[in-house]
Structure 1
Amino acid sequence: MKKFFGLFYTNLFLTNRLFAGLAVCGMLYIFRFLFNWLGIIPDVMLGLFLLLVLLDIVLLYHKSQGIFARRHAPERLSNSDDNQLGIYVESIYPFNIKAGIIDEIPVQFQRRDVWFATTLSPRIPKRISYNLRPTKRGEYTFGMIRVFVRSPLALISRRFNFEQAETLPTYPSFLQMRRYELMAISNRLSEYGIKKIRRLGHSMEFEQVKTYVPGDDYRTINWKATARNGNFMVNSYTDEKSQHVYCVIDKSRAMKMPFNGLSLLDYAINASLALSNVALKKEDKAGLITVAEKIGSVVAADRRPVQLNRILEVLYKEKTRYLETNMEALYATIRGILKQRSLVVFFTNYESMFAMQRQLPFLKRIAKFHLLLVVFFENTELTSLSEKPAGDVEHIYVKTIAEKFANDKKLIVKELAKHGIQSILTAPENLTINTINRYLEIKARQSI
């Protein structure tokens, strides 16, 4: 009994309709002092109102569990993507009720507006869906589901608490990875800006001998097969496979800068995961190296089915460091691990020509043995600032400085190209698509 009354008091809430009814009864008592003819009407109204409140309590509390609710969540969340979650709720009351549902989402989202109002019919389940977009990797802890129900009288509200505490890991953007994987397989990447590259000659990876059709390169005619068959036969070639593709991620303080709630490191991690997946689908070998003031994680290039999961687990744990990048250690690691010519995609960030020139000697050494692609970021906020018209002297000064920094980025691209190093200068939100675009272009040009 004591437990029941404890639950009764802690889970009972008064509604606005109850206070409105009490206000009306109070006004009737005030008016009775002015108008004697009201007599016992205020007493009758108050008695009826209290009976309605008692009836409402009985309606809501005659069942110990009048509501069932459960959260439906994925096993893991995808960073920087909209992850769909749902709440399954069902009423066991014999009448229609109005319900307000609160899902205690993780504190990382800093949201206090996750409230869903709905109407529930008896024994008819309903699913409420909503999206969450995490911007940091790590563990996200969900709390209870709280359901506030009201009967048709709506004078009081009863709260039901459902213990469903669970912790979900937030991994690098595997939803984005799957999206680009499907586009690469279906050759729909051109819709997202990936251009077709004209092949220069053909690769040396022989596939089959097939019948000649108009448009085939006549230089590939197989004369021996033609003589045996009586029809023109040509050799067919396919893209070279099992080439090594390494993503090298800079974890230094230069990658801590945030854009749209996501750090540059997270943008690089998402792009590396998507690029590795596309490389594996193209039957190349994908590998990973992370570096800051020292070498972090190293995943040797491979194309086994478990390789992508290995890369995903490593990327999940990576965090930004706050010291300079040790390029000497990076060069020594690449020379020690990469035994054949490989595509090395180096994700980093340069804010000035001086910062790039400090690393240039090591970049030139790496480019001597491998195809090096340096990927760094355009400061979109400075770009938008430089494009705004200046209204006074102060704004002219700010605009000039912004244009100077934006121009330095373009000079870095030219300086790298002067030394035979390919580069990509991209906005953070376009990083993944531009990186995959360049990889497919390199494959088409047979540059590795």
Structure 2
Amino acid sequence: MPAGTRRLALCALALVGVRLLLPDSLPFPWWAPDLVLLAVAALDVALAVAPRSLEVGRDLPDQVALGATARSALVLRNPGGRAVRLAVADELAPSLRADTRRWTTKVPARTEARVDTRIRPGRRGRFAPTRVTLRSVGPLGLAARQATVDVPGELKVVPAFPSRADAELRLARARRLELGVRTVRLPGTGTDFDQLREYTPDDDFRRIDWAATARNPRPVVRTYRAERNQTIVTLLDVGRTTAGRVGDVPRLEHLLDATFALVTVATGLEDRIGVVAYDNEVRASLPPSHRPDQLARVVEATYDLEPALVETDHRAALAHTKARHRRRTTVVIATDLTEATVGQVLVPALPLVLRDSTVVVVAVADPEVAAWADAPVADDEAAFLRAAATSALEERARLAARLRGLGATVVDAPPGRLSGRLVDTYLDMR
């Protein structure tokens, strides 16, 4: 498709100015200069390199974390014998927040050029940029040939994991403790046998293995380690309540961060952990495993989940979990403490799993609400905010008490502390 350039527009304006300065009687029609300009522009279009003769490739990373920076590039190869001046426009989604989507460049004959930009995604999910518009400018710079080509690419924007370093630190500490005094437990406490070794004065005589001692010249004791291959299932609420924002970030993002931290530590300690994401139906399900790439699999299963504006059906999710896990399981429910979802739906449904499972309920506390509840009352608006915040905090405390009364453990903490509190709760339960 032919297109004019800025130079053509300037030439047309110049002709208008010249025409105003010339006398009315001319030996040629007043429109003749315009016709000449159009003819020259048409010749320029004909001489321009066809955009579709160029080979265009896309260079994108496989994935980038939400809020992190990456580079998006187009590689332009000119197989012809003439250099080409190009204007390039890429159809990148606005939420990728590219520094620019338009470039001008020159590609010499039989070589390639590269144009790129920095992106910093502001939304999770799968992005598939495809359309690229090329405008090949003619040698006179008056007109160009334009074409839109398909250059498919795929980019996964995965959740941020801000607590990764803290989770890895807690994992390293837990591993050291397993090798230390806390790895030695009395038999019959649900721990796994580790090894037989010689008795030392610091050992409890009740740990002496008399059968092994009878075969050795010195007393032998049994040592135990924390149980491995425990099963954990994280139920991730992706319904209406997790769409609310805490610190300009949806609650779901904080719950995902806590989930990733728990997966990191649990798999590092050889426990099996899986994830079920649900609203009024199951949206994603990953069976428990302690394989080294389980975190990557959890990220893959959850990276494109967005909160749905529907009520969460906790009973259906718990029934789904109970049907698939007959053995004793630790069930972690990542949701929010509201009357509509917890008081009316989750509390009546918990007996489904409390008889044969350990239940932990995880929620994100909003520090801004706590600040409003403690703020001095300077005017009517401040009084209203304080009353509303106090009521909200009392409701959360009341719901947490009901859950604890049923036998569940509740972790209700603000962003920045939630992941650590959840991991510590898990480690204490081991």
Match in the other structure for 2:391: 404
CA distance 1:47–1:391, change in 2 (3 Å):
farther
Q: Distance in 2 between matches of 1:392 and 1:257?
A: 27
2:143 paired with 1:156: yes
- In the TM superposition, residue 374 of structure 1 has moved relative to its aligned partner by 0.6
Q: Deviations over 1:379-423 (max 9, x none)?
A: 466457667777642343234313432453355445545665322
- 1:290 Cα shift? 4.9
Q: 1:322 aligned to 305, 310, 313, which one?
A: 310
d(CA) in 2 for partners of 1:31 and 1:239? 96
Other-structure match for 2:188? none
Q: Distance in 1 between matches of 2:373 and 2:86?
A: 51
Corresponding residue for 1:374?
A: 361
- Unaligned stretches of 5+ in structure 2? 185-190
Distance 1:268 1:172, change over 3 A: farther
Amino acid at match of 2:334: F
Match of 2:418 in 1: 434
The 1:319–1:115 alpha-carbon spacing in structure 2 relative to 1, beyond 3 Å, is closer
Alpha-carbon distance in 2 for matches of 1:58, 1:296: 55
What's the secondary structure of 1:276's corresponding residue?
Answer: helix
Q: Which residue number corresponds to residue 104 of structure 1?
A: 91
Query: CA contact under 8 A between 2:314 and 2:345: conserved in structure 1?
Result: no
In 2, Cα distance between equivalents of 1:171 and 1:64: 31
Q: 1:247 to 1:149 in 2, by over 3 A?
A: same
Provide the C-alpha distance between the structure 2 equivalents of 1:163 and 1:217, rounded to a whole number of angstroms.
76
Question: Are residues 1:131 and 2:119 paired?
Answer: yes
> The residue matched to 1:219 in structure 2 has which SS?
coil
Query: Is the Cα contact below 8 Å between 1:79 and 1:171 reproduced in 2?
Result: yes
Distance change (3 Å), C-alpha of 1:119 and 1:183: farther
Residue 183 of structure 2: aligned partner: 202
TM superposition shift of 1:265: 5.0
Equivalent residue number for residue 219 of structure 1: 203
Q: Separation in 1 of the partners of 2:244 and 2:387?
A: 22
| Stretch of structure 1 that moved more, 337-346 or 12-21 | 337-346
How many Å separate the matches in 2 of 1:144 and 1:209? 66
TM-score, normalised to structure 2's length? 0.68
Q: Matched residue of 1:350: which SS? A: coil
Number of aligned residue pairs: 413
Q: Deviations over 1:79-108 (max 9, x none)?
A: 7876754322234577776543222245x8
Q: Which 10-residue stretch deviates more, 355-364 or 153-162?
A: 355-364
Structure 1 pair 236–55 and aligned structure 2 pair: CA distance change class (3 A) = farther
Distance 2:34 2:287 in 1: 80
SS in 1 for 2:183: coil
**What is the distance in 1 between the residues matched to 2:127 and 2:37?**
46
Cα gap change, 1:302 to 1:160, in 2 (>3 Å): same
Residue correspondence of structure 1 range 246-325 to structure 2 within 5 A: 246-257=233-244, 264-265=251-252, 268=255, 271-272=258-259, 275-276=262-263, 278-290=265-277, 300-303=287-290, 315=302, 320=308, 322-323=310-311, 325=313
Offset at residue 111 of structure 1 (A): 8.2
Q: Distance in 2 between matches of 1:112 and 1:80?
A: 12
The question of 1:423 aligning with 2:413 is answered: no
Residue in structure 2 matched with residue 26 of structure 1 by the alignment: 16
**Structure 1 range deviating more: 116-125 or 353-362:** 353-362
Any conservation in 2 of the 1:143–1:164 contact (CA below 8 Å)?
A: yes
Measured in 1, the distance between the counterparts of 2:5 and 2:321 equals 68
Percent identity between the aligned chains? 17
- TM-score of the superposed pair, with normalisation by structure 1: 0.66
Code of the residue aligned with 1:14 in structure 2: it is G
User: Could you say what secondary structure the match of 1:201 adopts?
Assistant: helix
Q: Give the CA deviation at 1:440.
A: 3.9
Matched, 1:120 2:120: no
Q: Is the 8 A contact 1:353 1:409 kept in 2?
A: no
- d(CA) in 1 for partners of 2:277 and 2:341? 23
Equivalent residue number for residue 17 of structure 1: 7
2:134 matched residue in structure 1: 147
Tell me, yes or no, if structure 1 residue 242 matches structure 2 residue 225: no
Question: For residue 187 of structure 2, what is the aligned residue in structure 1?
Answer: none
Task: For 1:103 and 1:75, locate their aligned partners in 2 and report how far apart those are by CA, in whole Å.
Answer: 18
Provide the rounded CA distance (Å) in 1 between the counterparts of 2:129 and 2:51: 25
RMSD: 5.6
Query: Quick one: structure 1 residues 121 and 421, their matched pair in 2 at CA, closer, same or farther if it must change by over 3 Å?
Result: same
Name 1:70's counterpart in structure 2.
57
